[in-house]
Structure 1
Amino acid sequence: MHHLPSGTAWLLTGLCAWTGVLCTLDHLRRRAAGHPRRDADGPGSPGAEACMAWAMALMALPSVGARVHPLVWVAIFAGWGLARLPGVARHGWEGLGHLAGALAMVYLGLAMSAPGSGTGHGGGLPWLTGALLLYYAAEVLLLGLRLAPVTAGAPVETSGPRSTGLPVACRICLGLAMIVMLASL
């Protein structure tokens, strides 16, 4: 992304890449443990989080993100969004979250390709950028509550595809990365 200072871009790349590594390893662990494909690959799963994390890491990488035409990023994330559409119907809010992430990345790609976007004075629609910032701030806070310790007497989920906090932690990291990218417009 050409809006970010080099140090920030490298930190963002590191955060997204580390998230991608963790989610990829968790995805492979779930597949090896015999989780059904729909649980191992659906929205909110480590596989879906890993794909988004790796793409965001590449986009933030200073030596790659700035050299690739922004419309290439638009095409990548538009394709990711189209692939997520069936998940919206099957998985509700979690599927919608991935679709929102893909659309936000499409918006970032379009904003980066707008005239004057390299100066930090253009490229994005202030009201849309603000709405996306609010969405991701709320998402990060709400997901953080899911990782909060369980109070005494509350049921604890010990099995199933969502029993680990890692996919939630990955969504938090990606949400924070999205906030940084949006704030750079």
Structure 2
Amino acid sequence: MHAPVSAAWLLVALCAATGAYCLLRLRSAVEEQRRSAGGEALMGFGMAAMAVPAAVFTPPRWAWPVYAAVFGLAALRALWAVRRDRHHLHHLVGATAMAYMAVAMAAAPPAVHHMDGMGDMGGMEMAGMSGGAGVPLVTGALLLYFTGYVLLTGARLVPAAGTAGGAAPARWGDRPELARACQLSMGIGMIAMLLAM
């Protein structure tokens, strides 16, 4: 089937482009943009790497614990940053979700990593992880969170009626609407990856 592989490549491209834009935001003159850009770039590139179709590249078994460690450290950093700024709470949930998916892949039997079909998203095909009892509780909670996040972020992208269009910042890294669009893209990508579980 070509549709799942095409969808996986679209997810890879979307997440990699988002990660690249977040790297551009690291050079922003606006402190608010710089504060979250590094964590979001890590998420974008990490999601892109995890979404590469397994038919093209199957990561070695040791890669999943490395992913789990990297995103576990990112979650601890976000937890520390939450004390100063509540915005990092979303980064905490995102990094925890990535670590959760990496742990699930590390615990999955090797045969799961080579399946074809709708779940073929860079090894994210986790058929059988729920033991046939439906969606695991953590996966369901993360799906609810990211669905709400996507809806809220999408609503924030819609301009308010009657607002005057002011001059947008000239630099690409300083544009808050592009940052929100990237956050929306990563939220949608996270939903796709969680559904593949």
The aligned counterpart of 1:132 is 142
| Match of residue 57 from structure 1 | 48
Q: Structure 1 CA distance, aligned partners of 2:160 and 2:25?
A: 23
Q: Is the 8 A contact 1:81 1:103 kept in 2?
A: yes
CA distance in 1, matches of 2:85, 2:176: 17
What is the aligned-residue RMSD (CA, Å)? 2.9
Q: Is the CA contact (8 Å cut-off) linking 2:15 and 2:45 kept in structure 1?
A: yes
Q: Confirm or deny: 8 A CA contact 1:41 1:47 kept in the other structure.
A: yes
Unaligned 5+ segments in structure 1 are none
Query: 1:172 matched to which residue of 2?
Result: 184
How far is the alpha carbon of 1:141 from its aligned partner? 0.4
User: Equivalent pairs: percent with the same residue?
Assistant: 37
Structure-1 residue corresponding to 2:118: none
Deviation at 1:177, TM superposition (A): 0.7
CA shift for structure 1 position 158: 7.3
Find the counterpart in structure 2 of residue 48 from structure 1. 39
**Corresponding pairs, count:** 172
Counterparts of 2:17 and 2:72 in 1: how far apart (Å)?
24
**TM-score of the pair, normalised by structure 2:** 0.74
2:77 pairs, out of 74, 79, 83, with 83
The equivalent position to 1:100 in structure 2, one of 70, 86, 93, is 93
Cα separation, partners in 2 of 1:113 and 1:123, compared to 1, 3 Å: farther
Cα deviation 1:131-185 (Å, max 9, x = unaligned) = 11111111000001111111226998978x9862122111111111111110011
Provide the TM-score with structure 1 as the length reference.
Answer: 0.79
Gaps of 5+ in 2: 116-125
Residue 143 of structure 1 is aligned with which of 153, 156, 162? 153
Q: Which residue of 2 aligns with 1:22?
A: 21
SS at 1:123's partner residue?
A: coil
**C-alpha deviation, 1:83, in angstroms:** 1.6
1:123 aligns with 2:117: no
CA distance in 2, matches of 1:56, 1:122: 22
Please give the alpha-carbon distance, in whole angstroms, between the structure 1 residues aligned to 2:42 and 2:153: 19
- Distance in 1 of aligned mates of 2:79 and 2:164: 34
Matched letter for residue 24 of structure 1: L
CA distance in 2, matches of 1:156, 1:82: 38
Runs of 4+ in 1 over 6 A off after TM superposition: 154-159
CA-to-aligned-CA distance 1:11-62 (integer Å, 9 cap, x gap): 211110011122222332x1xxx444xx34323xx33322211121122223
Match of 1:66, as an amino acid? P
